[in-house]
């Protein structure tokens, strides 16, 4: 039994800075952050993304600069997404398997610049490479077929691992792809390449700016509801996570972030494994829009939301605010 008012005053420990610091349950550091970066063709190129103010696409040489910047800030890992040239997109997304594609060149540029000082996480899904914008292969009716897609995703993952990726992150939501990728990594001499599974990825309205950034938005017909999860479902997320863990995922991801912190907490409590969340493009844009409209103070919004991920049980967060947040944290 705890004491009651007036013997207990919960405001007492909040009355000063030193005491708040002493009683703080959750601490956010730059080491909690994964920085997603968009890659584009060329040399010396920076292309601002209109729907993501403050975020740009970078050519591979300038991605290497971002990697040095991240390492200097104490950010442990980058996540890469390519804006594939239109003439290299096709129905079957075969550019994903090209060992000299934009993604592989960016991985190598980062590894050349930073070696093992920074981790490179690569997205496995076909949407940056398909002419229809879906994450997998489609049949005549436009349905994204599962098993044939998994076969291609395996080759995509191996292509990324051969280029030097440290963490393979399948974001496609096909059934069975984690096991298939894990087996292929083992067989092909990559036993230490990790898998962070986008295990509970929802069919969300918060991905719009990302699709602009990788250039798939205008191509996508229909939606991704036949593979990404229904936002109404929570129990099902636990089944997705259980399956990906059983198939060999080293860590799991919940996506989007803030609207799904209940899922993060349930996953953490149930499985006690490393859980990451993706504060996605629409969430970033929402914070930036709020700040621009004077509806909130940007730096405070950034730190409060990122701290909330830690409190909910995240080991780390993918966020477009990573570099800014790391600076705010005094790295």
Ligand X SMILES: NCc1[nH]cc(CCC(=O)O)c1CC(=O)O
Is 225 an active-site residue? no
Active site residue: 111, 224, 255, 310, which one? 255
DSSP reduced 3-state for 139: coil
In the complex, what is the shortest distance from the CB of residue 202 to ligand X, in angstroms, rounded to a whole number?
9
Cβ nearer to Mg ion, comparing 127 with 240: 240
Is 224 an active-site residue? no
Those residues whose C-beta lies under 8 Å from the C-beta of residue 192, and which sit 6 or more positions away, are none
φ, ψ for residue 219, nearest 5 deg? -90, -30
Cβ nearer to ligand X, comparing 61 with 226: 226
Distance CA 321, CA 303 (A): 9
Active site residue: 111, 201, 224, 310, which one? 201
Cβ nearer to Mg ion, comparing 32 with 240: 240
In the complex, what is the shortest distance from the CB of residue 143 to Mg ion, in angstroms, rounded to a whole number?
17
Q: Near Mg ion by CB under 5 A, which window of 53-61, 236-244, 253-261, 276-284?
A: 236-244
Residue (of 175, 212, 221, 196) closest to 318 by Cα position: 196
Determine contact, residues 288/302, Cβ cutoff 8 Å. Answer: no
In the complex, what is the shortest distance from the CB of residue 200 to ligand X, in angstroms, rounded to a whole number?
13
Residue of 32, 127, 135, 240 interacting with Mg ion (CB under 5 A):
240
Which listed option, ligand X, Mg ion, none, makes contact with residue 207 (CB within 5 to 8 Å by class)? ligand X
Residue 41 marked as a ligand binder: no
Helices 298-312/261-271 angle, 10° precision? 30
DSSP reduced 3-state for 141: coil
Residue (of 99, 111, 120, 131) closest to 165 by Cα position: 120
Q: How far is CA 195 from CA 198, 199, 329, in A?
A: 9, 11, 28
Q: Near Mg ion by CB under 5 A, which window of 7-15, 219-227, 237-245, 300-308?
A: 237-245
Which listed option, Mg ion, ligand X, none, makes contact with residue 127 (CB within 5 to 8 Å by class)? ligand X
Residues that bind ligand X (CB under 6 A): 123, 125, 127, 135, 171-172, 207, 210-211, 224, 280-281
Tokens for 219, please give them. 């191509």
Residue nearest to Mg ion (CB): 240
The alpha carbon of 3 is separated from its chain's Cα centroid by a whole number of angstroms, namely 44
Q: By the criterion CB under 5 A, which residues form the site for Mg ion?
A: 240
Q: Which residues are known to be catalytic?
A: 201, 255
């Amino acid at each position: 039994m705890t004491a009651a008012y007036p013997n207990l005053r919960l405001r007492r420990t909040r009355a000063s800075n030193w005491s708040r610091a002493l009683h703080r349950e959750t601490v956010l550091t730059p080491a909690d952050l994964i920085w997603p970066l968009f890659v584009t063709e060329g040399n010396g190129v920076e292309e601002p993304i209109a729907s993501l103010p403050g975020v740009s696409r970078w050519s591979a040489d300038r991605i290497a600069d971002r990697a040095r910047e991240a390492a200097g800030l104490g950010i442990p890992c980058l996540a890469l997404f390519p804006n594939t040239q239109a003439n290299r997109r096709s129905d079957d997304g075969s550019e994903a398997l090209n060992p000299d594609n934009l993604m592989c060149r960016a991985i190598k540029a980062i590894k050349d610049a930073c070696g093992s000082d920074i981790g490179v996480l690569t997205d496995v899904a076909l949407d940056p490479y398909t002419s229809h914008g879906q994450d997998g292969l489609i049949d005549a009716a436009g349905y994204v077929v599962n098993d044939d897609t998994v076969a291609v995703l395996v080759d995509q993952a191996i292509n990324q691992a051969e280029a030097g990726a440290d963490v393979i992150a399948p974001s496609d939501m096909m059934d069975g792809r984690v096991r298939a990728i894990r087996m292929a990594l083992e067989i092909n001499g990559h036993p230490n390449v990790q898998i962070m599974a986008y295990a509970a990825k929802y069919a969300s309205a918060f991905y719009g700016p990302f699709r602009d950034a990788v250039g798939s938005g205008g191509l996508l017909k229909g939606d991704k509801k036949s593979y990404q999860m229904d936002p109404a479902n929570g129990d099902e997320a636990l089944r997705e996570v259980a399956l990906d863990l059983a198939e060999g995922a080293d860590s799991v991801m919940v996506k989007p972030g803030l609207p799904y912190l209940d899922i993060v907490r349930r996953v953490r409590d149930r499985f006690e494994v490393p859980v990451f969340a993706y504060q996605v493009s629409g969430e970033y844009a929402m914070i930036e829009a709020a700040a621009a409209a004077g509806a909130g103070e940007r730096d405070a919004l950034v730190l409060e939301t990122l701290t909330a991920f830690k409190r909910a049980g995240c080991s780390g967060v993918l966020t477009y605010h990573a570099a800014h947040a790391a600076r705010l944290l005094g790295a």
